[in-house]
């Protein structure tokens, strides 16, 4: 039971990490090519990885095994860790996140307040 739980946790962790890293690399590369400046600096990328690694490992390490794990067949030794379904999930979630991030990056700038002038910081005379 514990072996299957560890295997499932590793697979979920890999799926999460690969999704986050694919999005970060695509955003950094595309942003650098289009805007001539990377939207994520090196230190910001390190912080994203640190936070995502920590949160994902805590969430998956505390998942208790259930009796339903014993009802399914074990995975074979020659079966890949990243299945076709996992790759579809990684690419689907990455595409969704990229749409949101690129919308905020390229179309969100006109909607953002400029120069610290928000609702309270309007011109004082």
Look at residue 107 and tell me if it is in a domain: no
| 30 domain-assigned | yes
Query: Is residue 22 in a domain?
Result: yes
Give pTM, 2 decimals.
Answer: 0.72
Task: Establish if 43 belongs to a structural domain.
Answer: yes
Q: Percentage of residues in the chain with pLDDT exceeding 70?
A: 86
Predicted pLDDT at 99:
93
At 79, is the secondary structure helix, strand, or coil? coil
Which residues constitute the domain of residue 43?
1-64
Residue 23 lies in a domain: yes
* pLDDT given at position 68: 75
Residue 49 has pLDDT above 90, yes or no: no
Residue 54 domain flag: yes
- Residue 53 maps to a domain: yes
Segment 10-36 shows an average pLDDT of: 86
CA distance 57 to 28: 24
Q: Please state, for a pLDDT cut of 90, what percent of the chain lies above it.
A: 14
> Looking at residue 40, what is its pLDDT?
76
The gap between the terminal CA atoms of the chain, to the nearest Å, is 70
Quick check: 7 and 17 in contact, CB under 8 A? no
Shortest CA distance to 91 belongs to which of 21, 12, 11?
A: 21
Q: What is the pLDDT of residues 50-100, one digit of tens each?
A: 888 888 877 777 777 777 777 787 777 888 888 899 999 999 999 999 999
User: Burial, 23: exposed, middle or buried (Cβ in 10 Å; 0-12, 13-18, 19+)?
Assistant: buried
Residue where the block lists tokens 């339903």: 68
Domain count for the chain: 1
Instruction: Evaluate whether residue 83 is within a structural domain.
Output: no
Which residues does 10 contact at the CB level (< 8 Å), separation at least 6? 81
């Amino acid at each position: 039971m514990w072996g299957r739980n560890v295997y499932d946790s590793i697979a979920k962790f890999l799926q999460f990490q690969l999704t986050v890293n694919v999005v970060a690399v695509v955003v950094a590369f595309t942003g650098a090519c289009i805007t001539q400046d990377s939207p994520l600096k090196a230190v910001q990328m390190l912080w994203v990885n640190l936070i995502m690694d920590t949160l994902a490992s805590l969430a998956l390490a505390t998942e208790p095994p259930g009796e339903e794990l014993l009802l399914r067949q074990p995975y074979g030794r020659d079966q890949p860790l990243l299945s076709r379904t996992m790759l579809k999930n990684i690419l689907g979630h990455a595409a969704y996140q990229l749409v949101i991030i690129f919308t905020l990056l390229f179309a969100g700038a006109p909607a953002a307040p400029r120069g610290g002038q928000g609702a309270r910081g309007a011109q004082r005379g």
